[in-house]
Structure 1
Amino acid sequence: MKMKRWVTAKPNLETVRSLARSCGFTPLAAAALCARGIDTPEAARAFLETDPAKLHDPMLLPDMAKARDTIRRAIEQGKKIAVFGDYDVDGVTSTCVMTRVLRSLGADVRHYIPDRLSEGYGLSMGAMDRLAQDGIGLIVTVDSGVSAFEEIARARELGMEVVVTDHHECREELPDANAVVNPKRADSTYPFAELAGVGVAFKLACALAGDGQQRAVLEQYADLVALGTVADVMLLVGENRIIVAAGLRRMAETQNVGLSMLLHESGQQGKRLTASTISFILAPRINAAGRLGHADMAAELFLTDDPRRAQTLAMALCEQNKQRQATENQILEQALQKLRLEYDPLEDQVIVLAGEDWHHGVIGIVSSRICDRYACPTVLIALEDGIGKGSGRSVKGFNLYEALCDSAPLLERFGGHELAAGLTIREENIQQFHENMEAWAREHVNPQELMPILHIDCPIAPEFISTEATRGLDVLEPFGMGNPQPVFSMCDLLVEEITPISSDRHVRLTLSKDGQTYTAMLFGTGQGGCGFAQGNYVDAAFCLEINEYRGRCSVQLVIRDIQLSTCEVMADQKILNLYNRFMSDGALTAREARVLLPERRDLVAVWRHILSRSEDGWLSVPDGALSRRVSWESRREINIGKLLVCLDVFSESRLLSYHFREGQLNIVLKHIEGKADISKSVVLKTLQSMSKDCNTMQGSVI
């Protein structure tokens, strides 16, 4: 696990108690709200509002009247209408909501979603020509179009009208469309600018339905609108909170045949549905279709009213998601192999990897996983016929878009923002591109500022953890951007057990404190990524969830970060002080020297552990973890100083090299012929002399 910097809020206890009493919240729910500055009953009620009556008038959006009138006129005139969408979840749900609304109004309507692999994002000249040839008289864009100046001009040239609905950032200059509905317009006075693309489409649907129909339209389409809003990681505050809360209620009894079948095939029908259900179960299945070039399949699922067809499509989406996962894991494995050969954790500040036959619809996910794992900006490039299509992900503090701007002469095209971007590059420019990115990082970025930050709502004691307190947090749902699931912390928990699960992709921990024992889940980190071992004391940051198993409910800690406790760190530091004094040619007493002096069995235990855990001659572990892991595995007392002495002995013998960076110990094995004789080690002989130990370890061989 990459170390995180904890930023812990400290809500005033009396304010917490007052809010809990006034609003009937549990102490944990009140503490989470106060930690976020929501510390009065009035502020809490406003923040937690989910009443559809509080939705804003859609006619307040810029150009909404023009959009409504243009569409109504096209329907009256019998024009063919095309809803032009996008291949992600927001784009697909936007497309389906708008298509269903227009159908209900009697329109002659079809939808068009560009193929991710052959057409790319947004409107294109080819698509405009095809739609004109098909006799389309009006194009309504959803989740796209605000930057498609040339393409919209082409559509108008060909005699088509265009209504743009979008939510992306836009310039002051707008495309020459009949209407551009976007809450991000510079001249917009709409009270809430954070609608998703499907949120803007929903607002247009309300305008088309007429005055006083907003609640009825929400009731009909809230499930799809919520699906797109959560999947697009929009702020779940204000109108989005109202929409998503209504959508989750509607989803539980959805009348959309396709969505019902998707819930069934993904094993969620009848279960409690939350924003996490959308983010981690439904959205990946819908996105898989777009990533693999079959977004039309997802759109058809939500547009069909045939249960048999819906079941077939839902099964296909689930199967495509499995295919996407397999492709993703294959690329990840290949990328990690390249990483171990090409990435120098001591010097490199940016990861740039390229590979043949990598699916460019999937590399963005893999790039994100590597970026998260190493807390390092990452660009993965899929090569085909000398051209690379890349996808990059970054961390807070490293502006990926600005870095790409600096390398613009090497790129065919690029776009994106601070944390995510896409690019096209010729194969021969990749090496220079990597060097340019490294140079930009050295000039503009302080590596210390790239450490991920974890915001913690408040520390808690064992007596505050109960099923009642955990259920009380439900009042804060739905969780998401702008309203994350509360994170709590507890110090000095004893690690009683570490159990790898799902082929060591995750671990289940048994933790205890003050006579209370907890089950904790650490997702995305195998046992080899843990910076601690059984018997250690740790500080944990976690969310609280109810685990239901065979009719029994219990509280489960879902770990967001876990670190060695202060007592463990201080014990390490005490030993490190001895080690540093020894390495600086300082004097040690015999007793101090014996603390650092490894026996032959210690050296063997360390060496065997490194050999068995290294991949392609490289092992990277949290810097306080290796001594603890070897100690637990070998049942020997190997403190951190003894471990470093072992590494120094192996380094002297040219068996390996090692270094520390950003909380990680990195070991690189070296290839030597035959066996290495460590009995001549200067480090060992010096420590033996200091300890006045008669056992000279002559003839020790690794």
Structure 2
Amino acid sequence: MPDPLTSSHVLGVSRSLSGQSWIWRGGNNAFGMAGGAEEDIVTQLLLARGVEPGDIEKERQPTLRAFLPDPSEFRDMDTAAERLAQAVLTGEQVTVYGDYDVDGATSAALLIHLLRMLGTEADHYIPDRLLEGYGPSGEALVKLGESGSSLVVTVDCGAMAHDALGQAHDAGLDVIVVDHHKCSPELPRTVALVNPNRLDESDIGASHGHLAAVGVAFLLAIATVRTLRERGFFSDRKEPDLRGLLDLVALGTVADVAALRGLNRAFVAQGLKVMARRDNIGMAALIDASRLKRAPQCSDLGFALGPRINAGGRVGEATLGVRLLTTRDPEEAAQIARQLSELNEDRRAIEAAVQEAAEDQLAAQHNRAVPVVAGKGWHPGVIGIVAGRLKEKTGKPTIVIALDADDAGQGKGSGRSIAGVDLGAAIIAARENDLLVAGGGHAMAAGLTIAEDRLEAFRDWLDATLSRQVEAAMAGRKLALDLSLAPGGLTPELIETMEAAGPYGMGWPGPKVAIGPVRLVKADIVGTDHLRLIAAGDDGTRIKAIAFRAAESDMGQAILSAPGGRRLWLAGRAKIDDWGARPAAELHLEDAAWAD
């Protein structure tokens, strides 16, 4: 191995046990480079994530004041706000039509709370994943109009629903679309379509294309309140404080894996503060059902709260999430939160069965640029999660398709991608080439409907279309590190300091550290394919590490069979283990390399 003091790679690691090179995030970890003054760890972490020196203080404490754009910069925003304000002023019946995932549930709940603050009780409609599928259906929209709704607002769906929205338009129903998914050049017929990913979006609007739908809905809330203010609506009533809705924005943003940069960081940072106040009855019940004994952190939104909301749409009743987040009744909230927790356990069992069956097909597709696995009877509610698991296992974009069990000849698919491969664009192109019945998404995730007899042609087309992208992305695999430590340097105090540069998530990666050199004291497998380590430095300091779902990986197998006494560098995310009597530091292991 090259000399770690002279190599351009961190600690001289040009190829780790998982096949990656180790590099410094941002190019170096030399504190004090900016402005010639010695910098603290938080400043260094911000600089490594691309923050300009002049923006350090703004990014250190992200606030809405610093990042919030004028909502009017977005196409159709003023038109949407005017129509929604009109509905409030005239007492119209409004229905919010949401998607069945967390982003859809939080977006719908946000607009329902907004209208409630403005004196209007809105209805909600959430389609059944299995019976109706993704997005608004023309039949459902027309029925909502026949039932008395004069305005429907679709959230987290609708951008590509040309036929359904055309039917609604022909039936005389006004529809506002609030979405963030990719759009086609021709937009559906609506009163307004607010989506920063419209192809004709303004420069400022397009720069916010990373917003989740709930973030776009929050901007619509601001615009609507402003419109009502200009019309004198608040001359004899209190204007609502929209900041109280930021807990919903934070949950939907993190659970939808939206990039945590710019405005999204401010949404999440401020939303966590609102969440800690427990003002939303349903959110408080959800936190309790998740068995959190402290105020939620950013990671809890993605791994504890979000999956429970998602479970309703995946394997239970799709409306549970919206009902929980909008209820005024603490007893109802507790009951729904318990039900969602039970459904989440059911989802895990279903997911495990589908994943096992899907993994059995991977060996036959090891030469594919994009593995596409399919099975009859697989539950459509878990295929997205399984696709994510298989992507982690293979390092390639992966698509999982649930074929109809009744031989109807179609299947629903979900895909997850890797950095550098735009899967959403490929799925849209496949649909335009008549390989798919329907499909869309964004760079990292996509959904589709396919005729079973087109499966092999679809696989071949993906290979031809994406093989170069996938090859380039995999060849350039790198692990970006922020800090190198001796084992004794891994302390709870250091971890708390690093967390101050958060919130972390997609697009704003959590700090990763390299630790070593260490010798293994113990290495074994716990749970389902998790690798657990105890390692000691040259000074005898011991650290604990765990690598989730990694025991069967190349890295896991190398560590488990490592000869006694051989030293290692370990790399991953430092976390605080607060299960014991006293908080302790541990490493969530992502990679390792031989130190000698």
Shared fold per TM-score greater than 0.5: yes
1:113 is aligned to 2:126: yes
Select 2:247's aligned residue among 223, 226, 231: 223
Matched-pair contact (CA < 8 Å) for 1:2–1:373: no
Structure 1 position 398, deviation (Å): 4.6
TM-aligned CA distance change 1:19 to 1:551, over 3 Å: farther
Q: Tell me the distance in 2 between the aligned counterparts of 1:33 and 1:486.
A: 10
Counterparts of residues 68-467 of structure 1 (less than 5 Å): 68-171=81-184, 173-185=186-198, 186-188=200-202, 190=204, 193=208, 194-210=210-226, 217-268=241-292, 270-292=293-315, 294-340=317-363, 342-343=364-365, 345=366, 347-384=367-404, 385=407, 386-400=409-423, 405=429, 408-438=433-463, 440=465, 446=471, 449-450=474-475, 452-462=477-487, 464-467=489-492
Secondary structure at 1:34's aligned position in 2?
Answer: helix
Structure 1 position 266, deviation (Å): 0.8
TM-aligned CA distance change 1:197 to 1:410, over 3 Å: closer
Matched-pair contact (CA < 8 Å) for 2:487–2:537: no
Gaps of 5+ in 1: 568-702
Q: Tell me the distance in 1 between the aligned counterparts of 2:496 and 2:124.
A: 42
Counterpart residue type for residue 334 of structure 1: A
Post-superposition Cα deviations, 1:486-517, rounded to whole Å, max 9, x if no partner, equal 11213532122113222543424334244322
1:43 is aligned to 2:67: no
Post-superposition Cα deviations, 1:556-615, rounded to whole Å, max 9, x if no partner, equal 1221212333x2xxxxxxxxxxxxxxxxxxxxxxxxxxxxxxxxxxxxxxxxxxxxxxxx
TM-aligned CA distance change 1:39 to 1:445, over 3 Å: closer
Counterpart residue type for residue 317 of structure 1: L
Residue in structure 2 matched with residue 679 of structure 1 by the alignment: none
The 10-residue stretch of structure 1 (9-18 or 452-461) with the greater mean CA deviation from structure 2: 9-18
Structure 1 position 278, deviation (Å): 0.2
Matched-pair contact (CA < 8 Å) for 1:78–1:108: no
Q: Tell me the distance in 2 between the aligned counterparts of 1:350 and 1:56.
A: 38
Counterpart residue type for residue 532 of structure 1: I
- Residue identity over aligned pairs, in percent, reads 35
Q: Tell me the distance in 1 between the aligned counterparts of 2:106 and 2:185.
A: 27
Secondary structure at 1:532's aligned position in 2?
Answer: helix
TM-aligned CA distance change 1:504 to 1:236, over 3 Å: closer
Q: Tell me the distance in 2 between the aligned counterparts of 1:232 and 1:487.
A: 23
Q: Tell me the distance in 2 between the aligned counterparts of 1:358 and 1:508.
A: 35
Secondary structure at 1:355's aligned position in 2?
Answer: strand
Counterpart residue type for residue 232 of structure 1: D
The 10-residue stretch of structure 1 (443-452 or 458-467) with the greater mean CA deviation from structure 2: 443-452
Residue in structure 2 matched with residue 688 of structure 1 by the alignment: none
Secondary structure at 2:277's aligned position in 1?
Answer: coil
TM-aligned CA distance change 1:88 to 1:20, over 3 Å: farther
Secondary structure at 2:88's aligned position in 1?
Answer: helix
Q: Tell me the distance in 1 between the aligned counterparts of 2:154 and 2:577.
A: 43
Q: Tell me the distance in 1 between the aligned counterparts of 2:47 and 2:557.
A: 32
Q: Tell me the distance in 1 between the aligned counterparts of 2:593 and 2:51.
A: 29
* Count of aligned pairs between the two proteins: 556
Secondary structure at 1:3's aligned position in 2?
Answer: coil
Q: Tell me the distance in 2 between the aligned counterparts of 1:39 and 1:85.
A: 38
Q: Tell me the distance in 2 between the aligned counterparts of 1:206 and 1:439.
A: 45
1:544 is aligned to 2:574: yes
Q: Tell me the distance in 1 between the aligned counterparts of 2:469 and 2:113.
A: 49
Q: Tell me the distance in 2 between the aligned counterparts of 1:471 and 1:220.
A: 27
1:13 is aligned to 2:31: yes
Q: Tell me the distance in 1 between the aligned counterparts of 2:303 and 2:37.
A: 33
Matched-pair contact (CA < 8 Å) for 1:262–1:282: yes
Residue in structure 2 matched with residue 530 of structure 1 by the alignment: 557
Gaps of 5+ in 2: 1-16
The 10-residue stretch of structure 1 (397-406 or 160-169) with the greater mean CA deviation from structure 2: 397-406
TM-aligned CA distance change 1:563 to 1:208, over 3 Å: same
TM-aligned CA distance change 1:224 to 1:348, over 3 Å: closer
Structure 1 position 406, deviation (Å): 5.8
Counterpart residue type for residue 366 of structure 1: V
Secondary structure at 1:251's aligned position in 2?
Answer: helix
Structure 1 position 171, deviation (Å): 4.5
Post-superposition Cα deviations, 1:510-536, rounded to whole Å, max 9, x if no partner, equal 342443221112122237733224533
State the superposition RMSD in angstroms: 2.9
Matched-pair contact (CA < 8 Å) for 2:419–2:473: no
Matched-pair contact (CA < 8 Å) for 2:43–2:56: no
Q: Tell me the distance in 2 between the aligned counterparts of 1:482 and 1:503.
A: 28
Select 1:516's aligned residue among 541, 549, 553: 541
Counterpart residue type for residue 61 of structure 2: E
Counterpart residue type for residue 174 of structure 2: E
Structure 1 position 39, deviation (Å): 6.4
Q: Tell me the distance in 1 between the aligned counterparts of 2:255 and 2:155.
A: 16
Matched-pair contact (CA < 8 Å) for 1:532–1:564: no
Select 1:492's aligned residue among 508, 514, 517: 517
Q: Tell me the distance in 1 between the aligned counterparts of 2:456 and 2:187.
A: 38
Secondary structure at 1:510's aligned position in 2?
Answer: strand
Matched-pair contact (CA < 8 Å) for 2:574–2:586: yes
Secondary structure at 2:559's aligned position in 1?
Answer: coil
Q: Tell me the distance in 1 between the aligned counterparts of 2:442 and 2:74.
A: 25
Q: Tell me the distance in 1 between the aligned counterparts of 2:470 and 2:581.
A: 52
Post-superposition Cα deviations, 1:352-403, rounded to whole Å, max 9, x if no partner, equal 3221210112112112211211213322222221322222333345554566
Counterparts of residues 574-613 of structure 1 (less than 5 Å): none
Q: Tell me the distance in 1 between the aligned counterparts of 2:388 and 2:443.
A: 14
Structure 1 position 424, deviation (Å): 2.7
1:483 is aligned to 2:508: yes
Post-superposition Cα deviations, 1:10-46, rounded to whole Å, max 9, x if no partner, equal 133332796655xxx4x3x333233334463x32112
Q: Tell me the distance in 1 between the aligned counterparts of 2:522 and 2:104.
A: 45
Matched-pair contact (CA < 8 Å) for 1:410–1:425: yes
TM-aligned CA distance change 1:62 to 1:414, over 3 Å: closer
Counterpart residue type for residue 469 of structure 1: L
TM-aligned CA distance change 1:20 to 1:37, over 3 Å: farther
Q: Tell me the distance in 1 between the aligned counterparts of 2:470 and 2:508.
A: 29
Q: Tell me the distance in 1 between the aligned counterparts of 2:463 and 2:183.
A: 31
Post-superposition Cα deviations, 1:32-69, rounded to whole Å, max 9, x if no partner, equal 233334463x3211222333433334344333332222
Counterpart residue type for residue 117 of structure 1: L
Counterpart residue type for residue 137 of structure 1: S
Q: Tell me the distance in 2 between the aligned counterparts of 1:441 and 1:229.
A: 28
Structure 1 position 272, deviation (Å): 3.9
Q: Tell me the distance in 1 between the aligned counterparts of 2:388 and 2:323.
A: 29
Q: Tell me the distance in 1 between the aligned counterparts of 2:378 and 2:240.
A: 46
Counterpart residue type for residue 453 of structure 1: K
Matched-pair contact (CA < 8 Å) for 1:94–1:143: yes
